[in-house]
A = this chain, B = another copy of it.
Amino acid sequence: MNKRTRAVGFGNATDADGIALSLGQQVRNYVLQKIDSGEWPEGTRIPSEAQLVEQLGASRMTIHIALRDLSAAGVLMRKQGAGTFVAPRSSQSTFLELRNIHAEIEARGNRHTTDVHVMEAINCDLSLATEMNVVPGSTVFHSLLVHRENGRPLQIEDRYVNPLFAPDYLEQDFTRITPNEHLMAMGPLKEVEHVIQAVTADEQSRALLEMQPGEPLLLLRRRTWSRGLIATSARLLHPGTRFSLAGRMTVPH
């Protein structure tokens, strides 16, 4: 029997592009699929190495290394003698919150509402084409929303979206779900880029955020990559005086 190409359990032996996956990768995918599907929620004790050896047909060392990798990545938590557990989602990607403004506002026990000011498809100029990494003149979607916490404006969300990534973007009702939630459902994001600046409000932003003249703004520009393209580029503007970004991270080695 060929040791290298045997498939794990009933899992796939190739990825979406038909590239053969290593046994270790298949084990990792198997575990991640169980977690993503909800079958193994946070805190679940997953099968022991010995059980996975039986279920998946790989050797114990292969299983061990795969689980070790997922543990280093923060997906699992392992404890000698006790077992292997699904790590809480919150301990991952701790850095720079503000992944879901709706969830964050609700978590504070407050009410979140959204005003939709712009929903349009536009042909992008050279500057925007560079920002989105598309050819100039291409059509991209554009939305401009204001998020409110208990009625007070908290964030201007000025977003451009690649139609290839989210074709139905303009049909969404963003007073009911956030753009972020819709985009998350479109596909897994691979990379995130942030640029943070303090700026003075222009007149439009000042009016939308109901601020006094001269108040500083916190500007967060965020681009996310998915499926090899820039899925979305957003400018998130916050009143500096009553908003902060917080993050905490464990340092590698």
With known contacts A32-B253, A191-B251, A95–B96 Cβ distance under 8 A: yes
A249 to B72 Cα, complex, angstroms: 16
User: Is A177 on the interface with B (CB-CB < 8 A)?
Assistant: no
A251 pairs with B189, CB closer than 8 A: yes
Complex CA distance for A173 and B96, rounded to whole angstroms = 34
| Alpha-carbon distance A246/B220, docked complex (angstroms) | 10
Return chain B residues, CB-CB under 8 Å to A122: none
The answer to whether A206 has its CB under 8 Å from any CB of chain B is no
- Taking the complex as formed, is A199 at the interface, i.e. its CB lies under 8 A from any CB of chain B? yes
| Residue in chain B with minimal CB distance to A240 | B198
Q: Which residues of B contact A219 (CB under 8 A)?
A: 198
A196 at the interface (CB under 8 A from B): yes
- The answer, yes or no, to whether A214 is at the interface (CB within 8 Å) is yes
Let me know if B216 and A253 touch, CB within 8 A: no
A46, chain B: closest CB distance, angstroms: 15
Given the interface pairs A217-B198, A218-B196, A253-B70, the reply to whether A191 lies near B241 with Cβ below 8 Å is no
Name A244's closest neighbour in chain B (CB-CB): B197
User: How many Å lie between the Cα of A196 and that of B215 in the bound state?
Assistant: 16
Contacting pair A240 B96 (CB below 8 A): no
- Contacting B at CB under 8 A, from A209-252, are 214-219, 238, 240-241, 243-252
For A65, list chain B residues within 8 Å (CB): 65
Contacts of A197 in B (CB 8 A): 218, 240, 243-245
Q: Which of B193, B216, B246 contacts A216 (CB 8 A)?
A: B216
Which of A74, A198, A214, A218 has the most C-beta atoms of chain B within 10 angstroms of its own C-beta? Answer: A198
In this complex, how many residues of chain A approach chain B with their Cβ under 8 Å: the count is 46
Q: Quick check: B251 and A93 within 8 Å, CB to CB?
A: yes
Q: Residues of A at under 8 Å CB distance from B?
A: 28, 32, 65, 69-70, 72-75, 92-93, 95-96, 188-200, 214-219, 238, 240-241, 243-253
CB nearest to A216 among chain B residues:
B216
Q: How far is the CA of A197 from the CA of B249 in the complex (A)?
A: 18
List, in ascending order, chain B residues with CB within 8 A of A249's CB: 95, 191-192
Alpha-carbon gap, A243 to B199, bound state (A): 10
Nearest chain-B residue to A196 (Cβ)?
B245
Would A196 and B244 count as touching, CB distance under 8 A?
yes
Report the 10 A-B pairs with minimum CB-CB distance, sorted nearest first.
A198-B240, A216-B216, A198-B198, A198-B218, A198-B216, A196-B245, A73-B252, A193-B248, A197-B244, A195-B246
